[in-house]
Amino acid sequence: MAGTSEWVRAVGDADFAAEVLASELPVLVEFTADWCPPCRMMVPVLAELAAERATELRVVTVDVDVNPETQAGYGVLSMPTLMLFSKGEPIWSAVGARPKRWLGQELTEALTRARAAA
């Protein structure tokens, strides 16, 4: 499945609620597809971020071709779509590939806002 590595786990319709919505840590979800070139560009970026931030967040991928219920449930139309979930709710999202530094900064800002609102 696209985007999986030692630090990035693939999840699907059957385990999305348990792996993402019920997670104690925030979870960055990449909605992806094997046929998507920008998604392939995100594989090393997500793997590095997942390894570097393993104590503060988890990173998972959802293959939209295999998991249409989750894709439809969150209105995902373009790949890659990135969504950050905290306490079972999406708190940030973006469409398209991005450099690691840029994505890291966006995640830090979103997590800071979520902590301040809690």
Active site residues: 36, 39
Task: Name the 3-class secondary structure at 27.
Answer: strand
The H or E element spanning position 7 is none
Longest CA–CA separation in the chain, Å: 38
d(CA 79, CA 37): 9
